[in-house]
């Protein structure tokens, strides 16, 4: 199985399972069991997923399983109408997630979104307390640019091992700006401050959210009539490699030398084989760039 090196946590599957929709899973315990049997033992949560019910559902689904058999990640900071990365909120969110997950510790805990009012000294104090009490083993961020990460690192003692960002064949801004350096193209605008390159330099793994989506929550581009050329090329490569269309779309992300970890959103055990297939496909450069162009992108 393809893996990526997640800081001090060590090698983890290159594909993790996002639990945002887990509260709607038909058979939660069976899904978890099927995932673990397939070697997919990384589960990504957040306190807001299902209003906390996704974590609660997962906690019940893993009852009786050895804690060391799976890796737990959760996130905090998004509230209704505002963000909150204060010390008190971080500590309370971590405790609440642990309670719902029926777990003694989180392997990884992320700050879900930048908080304009965040005070890095407070965040450092919260991380110290969670780490010293054994509640959290590793820390990271989500949707943050390089300077925000640097600001936090000035005060935080623990390494930030993850930055979770959106990336897909259609939503490829992290890659676009690097290809269009020194051009007048709109794609040259570095909206995230070269975060992809920064994280590679600093040994921070990019975790990819919504790998099959267009827009943040609009829908999936696979088999979408709005993307005929892209789906035709994905279908051609899927036939060539003898895998599913989903596998090709995910393999495009996994081909990047940043060795990202893809967080998928499926809670359907029947889709697990496609995730495993994705980790077996190594696209060539012409194939990778061909998919990029048929997604509506252009090279300078």
> 285-294 and 228-241 helices cross at what angle (nearest 10)?
150
Instruction: Quote the CA–CA distance of 55 and 68 in Å, as a whole number.
Output: 17
Residues 6+ apart with CB under 8 A from 166: 143, 208, 209, 210, 213, 216
* CB contact at 8 A, 210 and 216: yes
Of 34, 28, 1, 30, give the one whose Cα is nearest residue 15.
1
Rounded Cα distance between 19 and 196, Å, is 24
Candidate list 49, 70, 214, 292, residue with the active-site label: 49
Annotated active-site residue 105? The verdict is no
Q: Assess contact for 47 and 75: CB atoms under 8 A.
A: yes
Residue numbers annotated as active site: 49
């Amino acid at each position: 199985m393809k893996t990526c090196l997640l800081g001090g946590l060590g090698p983890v599957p290159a594909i993790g399972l996002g639990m945002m929709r887990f509260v709607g899973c038909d058979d939660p315990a069976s899904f978890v069991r099927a995932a673990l049997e397939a070697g997919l033992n990384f589960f990504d949560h957040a306190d807001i997923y299902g209003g906390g019910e996704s974590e609660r559902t997962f906690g019940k689904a893993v009852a009786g399983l050895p804690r060391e058999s799976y890796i737990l990640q959760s996130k905090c900071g998004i509230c209704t109408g505002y963000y909150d990365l204060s010390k008190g909120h971080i500590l309370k969110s971590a405790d609440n997630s642990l309670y719902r997950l029926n777990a003694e510790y989180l392997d990884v805990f992320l700050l879900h979104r930048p908080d304009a009012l965040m005070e890095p000294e407070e965040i450092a104090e919260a991380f110290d307390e969670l780490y010293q009490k054994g509640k959290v083993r590793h820390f990271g961020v989500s949707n943050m640019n390089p300077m925000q990460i640097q600001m936090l690192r000035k005060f935080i003692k623990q390494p930030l091992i993850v930055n979770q960002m959106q990336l897909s064949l259609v939503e490829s801004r992290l890659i676009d700006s690097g290809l269009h350096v020194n051009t007048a193209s709109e794609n040259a605008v570095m909206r995230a401050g070269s975060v992809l390159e920064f994280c590679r330099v600093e040994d921070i793994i990019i975790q990819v959210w919504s790998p099959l989506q267009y827009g943040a929550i609009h829908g999936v581009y696979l088999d979408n009539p709005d993307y005929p050329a892209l789906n035709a090329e994905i279908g051609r490569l899927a036939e060539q490699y003898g895998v599913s269309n989903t596998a090709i779309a995910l393999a495009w992300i996994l081909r990047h030398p940043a060795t990202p970890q893809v967080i998928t959103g499926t809670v359907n055990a029947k889709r697990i084989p496609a995730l495993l297939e994705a980790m077996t496909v190594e696209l060539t450069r012409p194939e990778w760039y061909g998919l990029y162009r048929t997604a509506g992108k252009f090279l300078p």
